[in-house]
Structure 1
Amino acid sequence: MELGSVQDQSASTFSLTDEDHTLANSLRFTLNQDPRVTFCGYSIPHPSDARVNIRVQTTGDPASEVFKDSCQDLMLICQHVRSTFDHAVTNFKNEKGINAMDLKP
């Protein structure tokens, strides 16, 4: 849900429910890497409320567009990390001669 001003689309606050520091800090990081972002920060209104508010201010581009781009960037980063991890596990298993049946939980 966007709480920003209707006239100034370059600044908005996004409220994400059922989220915490894990997603908020990751989004803050990716947003701050974007040269279009002049300010980004997040807050958690209350520890018992599973919600985060992420404030985004840009150089003029719509904050909603920049926020969406950042979410997509974060998704690509996560996919890359997962792919790299899976590849490393496969290589480890192949080097050690371990098959999937040997690794029962």
Structure 2
Amino acid sequence: TAASFEFKKEDHTLGNALRYIIMKNPDVEFCGYSIPHPSEEIMTIRIQTYEGAVVDALKKGFDDLMDLCDVVADKFTAAREEFAEQQMQE
């Protein structure tokens, strides 16, 4: 199955990250995004699955991307705190 989804006020930042994460799903055959015109704040993403609902692949992509962002934020916070502690010791 295949479907396209349109997101308003989004650009390459979300489009490329979401495309990358969705393509990690083994049930997904194809995922691509486009910005139809630079002056319009619209991002379109197309997903094609081998099996399963396309909307489920999109939801899983959002969940996986949020999990990845949480990991990055946690690692950044830990590194910042470690750096601050080192600065206090000097």
Unmatched 5+ stretches in structure 2: none
**Structure 2 length-normalised TM:** 0.95
Match of 1:71 among 59, 62, 66: 62
Q: What is the aligned partner in structure 2 of residue 34 from structure 1?
A: 25
| Bigger share in helix | 2
1:47 aligns to what SS in structure 2? coil
Where do residues 1-105 of structure 1 align in structure 2 (5 Å cutoff)? 10-97=1-88
Q: Distance in 1 between matches of 2:71 and 2:55?
A: 24
Q: Distance in 2 between matches of 1:46 and 1:38?
A: 26
Highest relative contact order (Cα 8 Å, sep 6+), 1 or 2?
Answer: 2
Q: Distance in 1 between matches of 2:85 and 2:35?
A: 45
Size of the aligned set, in residue pairs, is 89
Q: What is the aligned partner in structure 2 of residue 103 from structure 1?
A: none
Which residue identity does 1:11 align to in structure 2? A
Unmatched 5+ stretches in structure 1: 1-9, 99-105
Kindly, what percent of the aligned residue pairs are identical? 39
**Structure 1 length-normalised TM:** 0.82
Q: CA deviation at 1:38?
A: 0.2
2:38 aligns to what SS in structure 1? coil
